[in-house]
Structure 1
Amino acid sequence: MHQLDLPQPPPLVDGGVRIFALGGLGEVGRNMTVFEHRGRLLIVDCGVLFPEDMHPGIDVILPDFTAIRGRLDDITAVVLTHGHEDHIGALPYLLREREDIPIVGSRLTLAFVAAKLKEHRLSPPMIEVAEGDRHAAGPFDLEFLAVNHSIPDGLAIAIRTDAGLILHTGDFKMDQFPLDDRITDLAGFAHLGKEGVDLFMVDSTNAEVPGFTIGERDLMPAIDEVFRTAPRRIIVSSFASHVHRIQQVLDAAELHGRKVAFVGRSMVRNMGIAAQLGYLRVPDGILVDMKDLEKLPADQVVMICTGSQGEPLAALSRMANREHVIEIGDGDTVLLASSLIPGNENAIYRVINALTRWGANVVHKGNAKVHVSGHASAGELVYCYNIIRPANVLPVHGEWRHLTANAELARRTGIPQENVLVAENGVTVDLVKGQARITGKVAAGMVFVDGVTVGEGSEAAMHERRRLAEDGGVTVLAILDTSTGKLAEPVEFFAHGLVHATEWTTAAVQSIEQAMARAGKDKNLDAAELERLLARTLARFMDRRYRTKPVITAIVVTE
């Protein structure tokens, strides 16, 4: 049976564990996984997905809480693997529905979360944990292990239950020389493997990439080259949570005698937190305020901002569009120091092209070694399978191609095919007596955030927005004489975004009059019937004549 056709799952077997993702399977982002055991729920991560071109006007996309909304009181905790937005960004929206859910995470992760929640005036209980800690959350016994990622303080989570031991890696890689000297706890993974991992939930993002992900320190020569050769200002764009990359930029700026300013509220906030907690080493005297940069020679200036994914409201996009106080010009160097998230390609290249147009030299992953992934490649994943030897595998965090590639790696290491499960959002996987099986599906759609409006948008609304963007819209206005059932005046058209010459209206009126004449032979038209007739006739006319499908709105006024 195809996963789209799965029924509602049956009641969970007593003592079993049910796992279902409300985001993160089949996409890179919106990570949120629910674990059900003995009547209680544990949530791992609660992140957002950033919109693509197919979601015009949408700010972020949330997990769908429908499947757990009637059981909010059963939630024992939300456990966070690390502090990236695709793992913590949806927390405020969940906490609006129940504010006192305990939030469990590492020191830096909770600091980022606390700053975010303060803006939303939310203050749930927070429980700080570190690698090596054990924590009980209802019937779930949690153990935390250090993992290396592109942000400090990442954690993998071992979840012990009556049904078996589950290991969730979160996002991780196996950098053996990380900037913070905190490596992935492979010894801990091996120890859990000896204990017996019944279900291994493993990061899939780089499963298609052969070999091992290169280390963060390998980027230093390329970054140094940018700083050594840039003739004027350097503008670095990165995620506001990418502490390791910002550290490399600060070190390069110190080496080459440049001053640094953080640009953008989230960048200023997060780097301030990282510095205060000791995760970011800021050389003395290197940071300056934006207003002081104008006093410095251009070849002594570095600005660090957000916008490496082409986000329309981020600082870099606004610079590219000449909507920011900072104007990019000839001789400036822009360094994009983040990965290219699938789905953001078009937006990123639009920004690169615009910056190049203004005279900037844009350095990015495509033309220089200025970024490494934060995710384990195929060689690292196989290494983990071989030291853990899990009974069952559920690939997580990735598009379908990533999940499928990860599943194939698991099978090649000897895990039986029937024990390697590839699931999509909403699909329930039950772990009972050490055996994992797909059992059904719950609601797990997309929830759109448009300004302050949450959840009111739909796929139908997105489809209509795309039609408006592609083919424009037409409003047709008619005045109906109710005494005769005929038009009192000729129809009027109000077109938006159409590229056709205005002569089309004459032919459109003829089509409408012919349709009304045919309809009038049977009966007089009321206003509702006329609106349907006008819209249907104009849609058919535009399709036949111009091969376009504008959004058509018909308004009939009676007199």
Structure 2
Amino acid sequence: ICHSGDKMKNTDIPSFARWGEKGVLALMSDSTNVEVEGYTMSEQEVAKNLEKIISTAEGRAIVALFASNVFRIQQVIDIAWRTHRKVTFNGRSMEQITDVAMRLGYIQAPPGTIVDIKQIHKLRPDEVVIITTGSQGEAMSALARMASGVHKHINIRKGDTVILSSKYIPGNEKAISNIINRLYRRGAEVVYSKVAQIHTSGHAHQEELKMMIHLTRPKYFIPIHGEYRHLVVHARLAEKLGLARDHVIVAEDGQVITFDSENGGRIDGNVQTGRILVDGKGIGDVGRSVLKERRELSEDGLVVVILIIDEETGVVLYGPELVSKGFVFDSATGYLVDDAQCVILEIVEEYEAGLDSRVELIRKKLQRALKQYFSFAIKRRPLIVPIIIEV
């Protein structure tokens, strides 16, 4: 079984070809860019464009990219050396990955090229290249902190050139745009994929995906890594290249694929998949109801209703008292308390003393009624927590 990995840039083509000669039962192939025709742009073209930008930058060149893109990091180091600049790494994941990659020999730099971030202030701006995280606009990333002016070592200033050498991941467009705007406000020149060809996808395009199928000549084909539409398009592409429809398996997360001599390849059952939430020392014990409550707390606040009722007569002995958190009852909205108390007392009167499950019935109706009331009165739906005691 051959797995292409989620990125096929710089793939060891001869190895896949050798496996194809030996015989491949199934090829699991990345589908992310299956809708894009042709071939991916070469890394050499990206390097040429990056070198042009860095070599003409008046001040510091700050290159933001994925920390996992070791090949691109090496390209930037090579460019820095050729343009007589020093390199420093910024961002925890960037520092960790480059440290491991250098120890293993995947990143190489001439002596004296890499400097500590604390030393860059001793260099002229046009002698510095900063390779950093934050190309996707992550809120607490190194680049976001620079753009906000709260970075410990780097303050963006006029003359800096910031290069976002990565593709926008769907859903991050707004965050990236906000960072670009903040960088411009601080006087930096910003270069990104929409204005220059400074990134090429690591995910193979159609022609490279076809080549992978031709090289491995699999008996079965399994498209992976993409949205469902990508899997379907990739499956159709494999069929056009000669694979039988019943030998192309489109599976989703959690589905088990089984191969045997009698029935061949097929989807055979499911296993549980999905996100496991870690909450302090608890692992997997936070469910949807807890998440829903926390979301309500964060957005609309909390109202606690305290009520003491005589068990025999049903008369209210104390309250109703309303306590709010993240939900203010001020003088302008003082009527809310009075009206809410009236709603509570009307509900209490609906249920006679001695009725089975009276407290639970009152509690449930209070929650519904008060949510509806606050939503109608002030367009907010706080979490309602009734504390009802019978004595």
Question: Could you state the TM-score of these two structures normalised by the residue count of structure 2?
Answer: 0.86
Distance 2:61 2:283 in 1: 38
Is 1:267–2:94 an aligned residue pair? yes
Deviations 1:229-260 (A, max 9, x none): 33332222222232111112112222333222
Map of 2:212 onto structure 1: 384
Write the letter of the residue equivalent to 1:502: T
1:441 to 261, 265, 270: 270
SS in structure 2 of the partner of residue 294 of structure 1 = helix
Residues 475 and 555, structure 1, Cα contact 8 Å, conserved in 2: no
Deviation at 1:453, TM superposition (A): 4.7
Residues 448 and 454, structure 1, Cα contact 8 Å, conserved in 2: yes
Distance 2:66 2:381 in 1: 39
Map of 1:216 onto structure 2: 43
**For residues 429 and 274 of structure 1, do their structure 2 counterparts lie closer, same or farther at Cα, with a shift above 3 Å needed?**
same
Residues 337 and 365, structure 1, Cα contact 8 Å, conserved in 2: yes
SS in structure 1 of the partner of residue 138 of structure 2 = coil
Residues 259 and 301, structure 1, Cα contact 8 Å, conserved in 2: yes
Higher Rg of the two aligned structures: 2
**For residues 308 and 557 of structure 1, do their structure 2 counterparts lie closer, same or farther at Cα, with a shift above 3 Å needed?**
farther
Residues 305 and 387, structure 2, Cα contact 8 Å, conserved in 1: yes
Residues 367 and 386, structure 2, Cα contact 8 Å, conserved in 1: yes
**For residues 373 and 478 of structure 1, do their structure 2 counterparts lie closer, same or farther at Cα, with a shift above 3 Å needed?**
same
Deviation at 1:303, TM superposition (A): 1.8
Distance 2:252 2:25 in 1: 20
Identify unmatched segments of 5+ residues in structure 2.
none
Deviation at 1:490, TM superposition (A): 3.6
Deviations 1:105-140 (A, max 9, x none): xxxxxxxxxxxxxxxxxxxxxxxxxxxxxxxxxxxx
Map of 2:8 onto structure 1: 173
Write the letter of the residue equivalent to 1:388: T
Residues 250 and 283, structure 1, Cα contact 8 Å, conserved in 2: no
Deviation at 1:202, TM superposition (A): 0.9
2:345 to 513, 524, 528: 513
Distance 2:281 2:62 in 1: 31
Deviations 1:471-507 (A, max 9, x none): 4122223131435541512421414268996354443
Question: What value does the CA root-mean-square deviation take over the aligned residues?
Answer: 3.0
More helix by share: 2
Deviation at 1:525, TM superposition (A): 8.1
Distance 1:377 1:439 in 2: 30
1:542 to 336, 350, 374: 374
Is 1:338–2:166 an aligned residue pair? yes
Distance 1:458 1:548 in 2: 24
2:104 to 277, 280, 286: 277
Distance 1:547 1:522 in 2: 36
Residues 482 and 526, structure 1, Cα contact 8 Å, conserved in 2: no
Distance 1:370 1:279 in 2: 22
Deviation at 1:452, TM superposition (A): 5.7
Is 1:193–2:20 an aligned residue pair? yes
SS in structure 1 of the partner of residue 319 of structure 2 = coil
Q: How does 1:122-271 map to 2 (within 5 A)?
A: 166-173=1-8, 175=10, 184-185=12-13, 187-271=14-98
Distance 2:327 2:168 in 1: 32
Deviation at 1:380, TM superposition (A): 0.7
**For residues 371 and 199 of structure 1, do their structure 2 counterparts lie closer, same or farther at Cα, with a shift above 3 Å needed?**
same
Distance 1:387 1:273 in 2: 32
Is 1:303–2:135 an aligned residue pair? no
1:502 to 333, 336, 351: 333
**For residues 401 and 464 of structure 1, do their structure 2 counterparts lie closer, same or farther at Cα, with a shift above 3 Å needed?**
farther
Residues 260 and 286, structure 1, Cα contact 8 Å, conserved in 2: yes
Distance 2:27 2:33 in 1: 17
Is 1:491–2:326 an aligned residue pair? no
Distance 2:56 2:280 in 1: 42
Residues 51 and 79, structure 2, Cα contact 8 Å, conserved in 1: yes
Distance 1:366 1:396 in 2: 28
Residues 347 and 362, structure 2, Cα contact 8 Å, conserved in 1: no
Is 1:532–2:359 an aligned residue pair? no
SS in structure 2 of the partner of residue 271 of structure 1 = helix
Deviation at 1:468, TM superposition (A): 4.0
SS in structure 1 of the partner of residue 39 of structure 2 = coil
Distance 1:238 1:311 in 2: 12
Deviation at 1:218, TM superposition (A): 1.0
Map of 1:553 onto structure 2: 385
Is 1:289–2:116 an aligned residue pair? yes
Q: Percent identity?
A: 38
Distance 1:299 1:258 in 2: 7
Map of 1:370 onto structure 2: 198
Residues 65 and 134, structure 2, Cα contact 8 Å, conserved in 1: yes
Residues 303 and 382, structure 2, Cα contact 8 Å, conserved in 1: no
Deviation at 1:398, TM superposition (A): 1.8
Question: Could you state the TM-score of these two structures normalised by the residue count of structure 1?
Answer: 0.62
Distance 2:229 2:51 in 1: 35
Write the letter of the residue equivalent to 1:455: G
Deviation at 1:436, TM superposition (A): 1.0
Distance 1:450 1:256 in 2: 48
Distance 1:254 1:497 in 2: 58
Of stretches 515-524 and 189-198 in structure 1, the one that deviates more from structure 2 is 515-524
Distance 2:185 2:309 in 1: 57
SS in structure 2 of the partner of residue 456 of structure 1 = coil
**For residues 476 and 463 of structure 1, do their structure 2 counterparts lie closer, same or farther at Cα, with a shift above 3 Å needed?**
closer
Write the letter of the residue equivalent to 1:173: M
Residues 253 and 259, structure 1, Cα contact 8 Å, conserved in 2: yes
